[in-house]
Structure 1
Amino acid sequence: MELLKQITDYLQQQKLKLATAESCTAGLIVSELARVPGSGQCIDCGLAVYSPEAKNRYLSVSFDTIDTYGLTSEETSREMALGALNNNDANITVANTGIAGPEPHDDIPVGTVCFAWAFLHDQKIYMMTETRRFSGDRNDVRLAAAHYALERIPKYHRDVLNGSAPLDE
């Protein structure tokens, strides 16, 4: 709970409003953050988008991106984060897609999660992506991925503020 409180405090202090676009965590990122009293001030929305059609319909993820790179890819998570940023009242979005289990898919091991964090700052969009692998059963992977997504927010936001974060191009 301490991590969640720290993230909520950071979002509030920095006047950040979060939208999530979640596939393998199915809304757990925003749900975990919502455990903290007062967190509603810094949450715009949480979208759980599993199917390619939902990713396209709600987040404008290109079917070409999914076909070329796969559902579990940084490219897909990047487009999910951008779609969430463009379609909501948020200045930070976190997106993920991955294989929580119980079986690997398309030779991608269980526990593989691709993340994207998008920040709108000074009318510019900054984007960071990562792929991580978590251990445990399906729900262990989901919870670890949700907490990882949240704990990276302050680091990446500080990178945006100090000019070391990459612009989205």
Structure 2
Amino acid sequence: MSLLEDVCHYLQEHELKLATAESCTAGLIVSELARVPGSGQSIDCGLTVYSPQAKNRYLAVSFDTIDEYGLTSEETSRELALGALHNNDANVALANTGIAGPASHDDIPVGTVCFAWAFEHAGKEYLFNETQRFPGERNEVRHAAAHHALERISALHRQVVDGKASPVGD
């Protein structure tokens, strides 16, 4: 099975409904997943939010967070993921923000992507985040970031289900 089929199977098997909040991948995560027949039953929505205003308007990302940490930050990606989880009919949300290229911005190298995954399980929320740097041109970075985000869902969800992750606020 391919990565995309594996992810769809995992989402369906665990009755997970996905929402995405994508900045640098610009909807590619949902688009890639939608290539798999039957994936629609596991996708609630995919939001592409580039501007700070869109991040705030649609997902309640604080302008204070953006001002203090920047658009490309784990703090911003966490707020994106939580906003996607709270504002949609989903129990898993993933978010990213980064610099796909062609040029670096604010001394952040091209290929830097900050990710966050949020899960709702047994009435509690769980949040994970990380930063990765991918090589290549703009669309290669976007593709690698989209696949990385999807690939991590099952391992992170298993941590939640197995009690190896702490809920938000604990």
CA contact (8 A) 1:128 1:165 kept: no
Q: SS in structure 2 opposite 1:24?
A: coil
Post-superposition CA distance 1:86-106 (Å, at most 9, x none): 000000000000000000000
Show the counterpart of 1:77.
77
Q: SS in structure 2 opposite 1:47?
A: strand
Show the counterpart of 2:143.
143
Amino acid at match of 1:58: Y
Show the counterpart of 1:17.
17
TM-score between the two structures when normalised by the length of structure 1: 0.99
**C-alpha distance in 2 between matches for 1:146 and 1:168:** 25
Show the counterpart of 2:114.
114
Amino acid at match of 1:108: I
**C-alpha distance in 2 between matches for 1:124 and 1:108:** 34
Q: SS in structure 2 opposite 1:85?
A: helix
Q: Given the alignment of the two structures, is residue 47 of structure 1 paired with residue 47 of structure 2, yes or no?
A: yes
CA contact (8 A) 1:24 1:97 kept: yes
TM-score between the two structures when normalised by the length of structure 2: 0.98
**C-alpha distance in 2 between matches for 1:13 and 1:66:** 36
Following TM superposition, by how much is the alpha carbon of 1:165 offset from its aligned partner in structure 2, in angstroms?
1.6
Q: SS in structure 2 opposite 1:103?
A: coil
**C-alpha distance in 2 between matches for 1:53 and 1:6:** 35
Coordinate RMSD, CA, aligned: 0.7
Following TM superposition, by how much is the alpha carbon of 1:168 offset from its aligned partner in structure 2, in angstroms?
1.6
Amino acid at match of 1:82: L
Amino acid at match of 1:63: F
% of aligned pairs identical?
Answer: 73
CA contact (8 A) 1:128 1:166 kept: no
Following TM superposition, by how much is the alpha carbon of 1:167 offset from its aligned partner in structure 2, in angstroms?
1.7
**C-alpha distance in 2 between matches for 1:150 and 1:38:** 16
For structure 1, the residue ranges without an aligned partner over 5 or more in a row are: none
Deviant stretches of 4+, over 6 Å: none
Following TM superposition, by how much is the alpha carbon of 1:164 offset from its aligned partner in structure 2, in angstroms?
1.1
Post-superposition CA distance 1:51-104 (Å, at most 9, x none): 000000000000000000000000000000000000000000000000000000
Post-superposition CA distance 1:26-52 (Å, at most 9, x none): 000000000000000000000000000
**C-alpha distance in 2 between matches for 1:55 and 1:167:** 24
For structure 2, the residue ranges without an aligned partner over 5 or more in a row are: none
